[in-house]
Structure 1
Amino acid sequence: MGKKLTAAVALVPAMWPIAQARAQDAALPVEEVQAGSNEEIVVQARNRITNVDVIAGNASVISADQVENGRAANIGDALRFQPGLLAQTATGGEATRFSMRGSGIIRSPFAWGTGIQMLIDGLPMTTAEGSPYEYYEALANNYIEVYRGANAFDYSPTTQGGAINYVPHTGYDSAPLLVRAEAGSFGYNRQQISSGAVRGDFDYYVSGTRFAMDGFRRHSNSRSLRLVADAGYRITPDLKARLYFIYADQDTKMTSALTRAQIEADPRANSSTTGSRKNPDSLLLGTTVDWALGDASSLKLGVAYKRYKVRNINIAVPDYWNIEDIAASLRYDREDTLFGRSSKTEVAVLFSALLPGSHNRKFSTDLSTLRQRVSFKGVDATFLIKNDLELADRLWLTTGLAAIDQTRASHITLPTRDFRDQEYFNLTPRVGARFEAGGGIELFANYSRSVEAPISHALPQLVGGLYTYNADIREQVQDTAEAGARGKLGGFNWSLALYRTWVKDELLNVQVSPAVGSTPAVIIATNAKSPTIHQGIEAAAEGTLWKSGGFALSTQQSLTINDFHYRHEPDFGTADLPGVPRGLYQGALRIDHDSGLFAGVGTEILLNRYAADFANTIWVKPYAILDLRAGWSSKDKSWQLFVDGKNVTDKRYTAFVSPVYNARGVDSAAYFPGMGANITVGITKAF
């Protein structure tokens, strides 16, 4: 395999494209580069908390190559073709609404996300106030892991939807210099410059991006600047440390929901004409330390600090948010032999907390008078233990138990004093099995519990732009049974999972009134009055279908079938929960030639209608959109060009909804239109 690449760092620029291509094709992260006499790079996997291939449940990996060969305007572009996961942009910009297995019904794309644990290389991003979307950079990741539902147990089962882990590039898998530019319809332009290198035991990666867009809809322009960096040092052969840094500055004009009639007449309309959401100076600092102990065990420590601000201005009740939080994790992993069989045990302590000074201030329209001040507190503390035991040849049993203690507090101190403090304690078990059936096929099944506490600012209620008393909001508890299979055949991968989740006290958000002029939408948070059911089918396939004469045909396919409904709601009986498609298909075919030329076609089809209000009286219409893509990549991957056309037939359709309570069949402002026909051209050069 050759000597480790230390003194031979000078070889990295020449060989980087080969390393990148192999790492991306294998959908694996990169930890160490080695060189032999034939100057061939061998890529080794990084030290990871877990591997999606050994989880007794549905999880997947998105490689950088899947993201970078087309438009990457926002993180929604990066998360396409993931069954069970919705990542929907409001205007084509970076504001993105996330939902997985029905989580977060329904969060605005302009609000901090809930329902999914977001992570940066295992460092928690989602804490008691949610998850700021401005940190997510589509172009800085070596790969992205998607853990659906309680299959995110290793990262703490404290969300309904699961976890998404963004793993950035390092010096071992990045070019010494890379520049990228994209430009397209509706004033869209995006640039990236990045650099990475290895210097002996030290490596680094840094990426700077700029985003700007006039926006598909009127008054929807947005812009951002983002810096993502990490640096690692191998202190000893068994001890490694890595630092992480993210800085983001973002300015987004807020858009309103429309009626179906408005979308049909003019999808670029916008009833909100003044509101702006600014995210100045968002900052993340983090570090991890990995220690490989000498007895087939390892210890990993992680700490992260975040500071994020929001300035909602040019609205009837402007407000300033200042939030700070800290998160820490300590993991111990050990491999043993039990009764002559392999056993892997993990023990973890996970902690996150809002820091003092996390508050929201609301002002008069001209910002001259402070009308209200609310401070927030919240802690998530988890202790978990998990074991994977080889019961027999090719048969693994997973068992786990987590103890979760969560607190939430909201203190209104101006103009009156109103304190809300709540604490939630839960035990969440997990048991699963995984069987390697042969022929590249693996079967899995599990039963798991997870919990999700409300975010701290859901404790009071927002009425007329100000917080007031709100009834106690409970945490939601979900029990999930899941079964499925996955397989590999050459370069072709597939997966199929069926699940059913019984949810108690589901956290819901209801739009009471839409945004009009300078008045933002009013959305209240509450628990469901009835237990709810989330069940569905998730199917995916990707890889090479055929090769001949220098040509190769590949595909990506994703099918999501959802059935989310009340069990016995007092007013709505067994009505569907609104806001999440019942059936969604995404598919693409692509043909590549050895010359580097490629062309492809893709589609997204909403298979049937779904409800836009909790009473199920108004609906989102089915739709089908068509995408086209073509480009060229040099053999060494140092040059990449593409032309990416989205919704080329200019279909007028609803991308997502902000459900109203009971529309009584009247067409209501609950719908957000998808982008019309648009085209993007891009170029990348790696030096």
Structure 2
Amino acid sequence: MIYSICEKYAVMASACLIVAPIVVNAEDSLPEVSVTEKALVKSGAQSLTVPNTAQATVDIQRIPGAVEVVPDTAYKGGPAQTVKDMLGWVPGIFAQSRYGDDARISIRGSGLSRNYGNRGINMYMDGIPINTADGLVDNFEIDPTAFRYIEVYKGANAMRYGANTLGGAINYVTPTGRDADLFVGRVDIGSFGYKRAQASTGGVSGPLDYFITASAQEFNGYRQHSDGDQQRLSGNLGYQFSPDAETRFYVNLNAIDQRLPGEVSKASALHSPRTAASEFTRVDQQRNINSQRLANKTTLRFGSTTVELGVFGVNRHVDHPIFQYLDYTVRDYGGFIRATDDSQISGFNNRLVVGANIHNGKIDNDQYVNLTGGIKGALAASNIDRSKNISAYAEDTFSFLPNVALVAGVQYLHAERDRKDRFLSDGDQSGSRTYDLFSPKIGLLWDVDASWQVFTNISRSAEIPTYDANTFVSTATSDLNAQTATTYEIGTRGTRPDFTWDFAIYHADIKNELQCLTTAPWAPCSVVNAGKTQHRGLEAGIGLPFLKSTFTQGDTFVFNAAYSLNDFRFDNDPNYGNNRLPGVPKHFLRSEVVYKHPNGFYAGPNIEWSPSSYYADNVNSTTVDRYMLLNLRLGYMQAKGWSGYLEGRNLADRRYIANVAIAGTADPTMEIFNPGTGRAAYAGLQYKW
């Protein structure tokens, strides 16, 4: 869906700023959002290291592919607990909650078979990686209340971050003191014991600016054994040496405790959805995280060239009793440099972006027998896993016509994976593997007019196996090959006074797709390389205002919809033929009709609809049933002062399966199903000063 700065549930139409697609000023390289905004940037009134929402929207639309900026007002008008709340309205993203703050997320079928953790998407917080160095990422450390906007780059459109996975990249961007409110306080309550409080502050003092936010929440959970509590703190401190030089320091702290209810049979998921898996409760399965992330980002501008540099370090301790008791520490570090030059070649506008990234890390893992009640038993495994990743990339945008640009790029990735087995009584599972991968891209971007673009591209992506693929089995990492794909894409995006749209069609030919197949109901999956597969899809988002000024001058009804067609199949596989890939519905739709009053009041119903069943296994013998959820929200949102909301979800209390841990062959009695949440209600109150 296209989001303007008028975002969903925004304040007043008169306060909205519509951001047109890409207009580049070659003279000083700043997007022409407005003369006032450009002057603010140059005067230092806005951050040089962090674009505001308007700047980010203009900048991202230089990319000839499916990309999006999601502003915070698109999701903060509700409880905003998981990534589904934040990104569920973006076409091509399939996000479903599991329990607590955890959610499964897939873009264009990335990590399609994963039902714990996520892979196939590079996630960033202010441009700093959230993924561990081996590529695995979970969502527990993402605090939806902390961010100003979210950038979504699907597939190889994420080259600006050096990301080249099938799913692309997601960058969560926090405010700075230069665009933050002096004070924000917020309280949310809801069904199943849900309570959250959040507060933030930011400001500017001469060349110095600061922003800090903290939140705490707890919940009993819809299901048994799914209670949890989280405390999170994020902040940044910026110093502007001049209008052309700024540095910013970041800190992110998390303390997370979460019990795991586990997957259950299909009958249990549909008829007793609040019941946890008995084995999960017997050994008290949990995922508890304490993490600290420190980073610095510096931006320097030299005429038409901008240079960005960054370094980061992450320490994460995970206390994780599951089928065995995992106790491990992750220590990651790295840095990046990126240079962007806007100039002219023989009178034609040209933008060149070159960069390099280093992301290294070590996982120190001890694994124990998990006794009844979640008590550590005897040592069962012990490993040191080291990852090294060095990538370099270049992308050039050459405007050979005033409104048509050719975009060409390439990325090189050198990755090393090395495991040292310290527990040898069951044999030595040490191993290492080196990967060297090139990923080219070429595309065209046509600005049909100032607010309408057409784009197309061909790109290659590559994905290295994560260590958890072998944490629980006896084979070495070298048994798995990298997943590679060639993706073809064409689309259009734009806005008119009474219509906004965002359409993309893509086809990806994939080799060695990494599948995570469930083999036991209580143990993690086993990762294998599939043969050839194909991911094809259509992503469509629309916004359509209608019935304007029906009850009062300036009010309107708006119809919004986000639709994804997911046609994912094996390609003449020796075992599965041309079967459909399991784990995601072929059709998925979210739509709403919302009434907006110029004073900030909004109200309306929305639906989430999976209109056909999909498969839970590769042999296509077991299905996940179709469903439709009816939701309703109303609220009052103001730029300053008091705002509030009421929201009801799954009002018909529909029993459904939210997601599934896939298998090679499954049946309905297999414990691979995660029930969706039943009827729930939430309310929130916020004050901005």
Question: Please, what TM-score do these two structures have when normalized by structure 2?
Answer: 0.89
AA in 1 matched with 2:313: Y
Distance change (3 Å), C-alpha of 1:545 and 1:19: closer
Question: For 1:461 and 1:544, how far apart are their aligned partners in 2?
Answer: 51
Aligned partner of 1:602 in structure 2 is: 606
After TM superposition, the structure 1 = structure 2 runs for residues 234-383 of structure 1, keeping only pairs within 5 Å, are 234-271=240-277, 272-274=280-282, 275-294=284-303, 296-313=304-321, 315-355=322-362, 358-363=364-369, 365=371, 366-383=375-392
Aligned partner of 2:494 in structure 1 is: 487
1:51 to 51, 59, 79: 59
SS at match of 1:273: helix
Question: For 1:650 and 1:297, how far apart are their aligned partners in 2?
Answer: 56
AA in 1 matched with 2:658: A
Note the C-alpha offset of 1:281: 2.2
Q: Deviations over 1:445-468 (max 9, x none)?
A: 00000100011332x3624xxx55
Q: Answer yes or no: is 1:646 the counterpart of 2:646.
A: no
Q: Deviations over 1:549-593 (max 9, x none)?
A: 331222331000011111122221111111012110001121122
Aligned partner of 2:511 in structure 1 is: 504
Q: Deviations over 1:188-219 (max 9, x none)?
A: 11110111111111111111111211111111
Note the C-alpha offset of 1:438: 2.8
After TM superposition, the structure 1 = structure 2 runs for residues 327-476 of structure 1, keeping only pairs within 5 Å, are 327-355=334-362, 358-363=364-369, 365=371, 366-416=375-425, 417-438=428-449, 440-458=451-469, 460=470, 462-463=472-473, 467=474, 472-476=479-483
**Alignment RMSD:** 2.7
1:183 to 162, 181, 189: 189
2:680 to 674, 678, 681: 678
Note the C-alpha offset of 1:269: 1.4
In structure 2, stretches of 5+ residues that fail to align are: 1-9, 22-30
Question: For 1:360 and 1:151, how far apart are their aligned partners in 2?
Answer: 38
Question: For 2:20 and 2:144, how far apart are their aligned partners in 1?
Answer: 16
Question: For 1:95 and 1:241, how far apart are their aligned partners in 2?
Answer: 33
After TM superposition, the structure 1 = structure 2 runs for residues 629-644 of structure 1, keeping only pairs within 5 Å, are 629-634=633-638, 636-644=639-647
Distance change (3 Å), C-alpha of 1:329 and 1:470: closer
Question: For 2:615 and 2:488, how far apart are their aligned partners in 1?
Answer: 25
Aligned partner of 1:81 in structure 2 is: 89
Q: Which moved more, 1:257-266 or 1:225-234?
A: 257-266
Question: For 1:492 and 1:380, how far apart are their aligned partners in 2?
Answer: 43
Q: Which moved more, 1:541-550 or 1:370-379?
A: 541-550
Q: Answer yes or no: is 1:525 the counterpart of 2:527.
A: yes
Question: For 2:383 and 2:471, how far apart are their aligned partners in 1?
Answer: 12
Q: Do the aligned partners of 1:322 and 1:360 also contact (CA within 8 Å) in 2?
A: no
Aligned partner of 1:542 in structure 2 is: 543
SS at match of 1:385: strand
Q: Do the aligned partners of 2:202 and 2:211 also contact (CA within 8 Å) in 1?
A: yes
Distance change (3 Å), C-alpha of 1:598 and 1:457: closer
Distance change (3 Å), C-alpha of 1:61 and 1:488: same
Q: Do the aligned partners of 1:277 and 1:310 also contact (CA within 8 Å) in 2?
A: no
Aligned partner of 1:13 in structure 2 is: none
AA in 2 matched with 1:442: Q
Distance change (3 Å), C-alpha of 1:669 and 1:409: same
Aligned partner of 1:143 in structure 2 is: 149
Identity over aligned pairs, percent: 27
Q: Which moved more, 1:440-449 or 1:536-545?
A: 536-545
Aligned partner of 2:671 in structure 1 is: 669
Distance change (3 Å), C-alpha of 1:55 and 1:623: same
Note the C-alpha offset of 1:511: 0.6
AA in 2 matched with 1:532: T
Aligned partner of 1:12 in structure 2 is: none
Q: Deviations over 1:442-489 (max 9, x none)?
A: 11000000100011332x3624xxx55576100001100000111111
Question: For 1:19 and 1:405, how far apart are their aligned partners in 2?
Answer: 50
Q: Answer yes or no: is 1:117 the counterpart of 2:127.
A: no
Q: Do the aligned partners of 1:193 and 1:207 also contact (CA within 8 Å) in 2?
A: yes
SS at match of 2:166: coil
SS at match of 1:204: strand
Question: For 1:471 and 1:214, how far apart are their aligned partners in 2?
Answer: 42
AA in 2 matched with 1:536: G
Distance change (3 Å), C-alpha of 1:159 and 1:35: closer
Q: Deviations over 1:65-103 (max 9, x none)?
A: 111111212222111211111222113x10121111101
Aligned partner of 2:164 in structure 1 is: 158
Aligned partner of 1:219 in structure 2 is: 225
Q: Which moved more, 1:266-275 or 1:96-105?
A: 266-275
Question: For 1:311 and 1:54, how far apart are their aligned partners in 2?
Answer: 43
AA in 1 matched with 2:513: E
Distance change (3 Å), C-alpha of 1:595 and 1:43: farther
AA in 2 matched with 1:505: N
Note the C-alpha offset of 1:48: 6.0
Say which structure, 1 or 2, has more relative contact order (CA 8 Å, 6+ apart): 2
Q: Do the aligned partners of 1:565 and 1:576 also contact (CA within 8 Å) in 2?
A: yes
Question: Please, what TM-score do these two structures have when normalized by structure 1?
Answer: 0.89
Question: For 2:287 and 2:489, how far apart are their aligned partners in 1?
Answer: 41
Q: Do the aligned partners of 1:433 and 1:446 also contact (CA within 8 Å) in 2?
A: yes
Q: Do the aligned partners of 2:296 and 2:310 also contact (CA within 8 Å) in 1?
A: yes
Q: Which moved more, 1:490-499 or 1:568-577?
A: 490-499
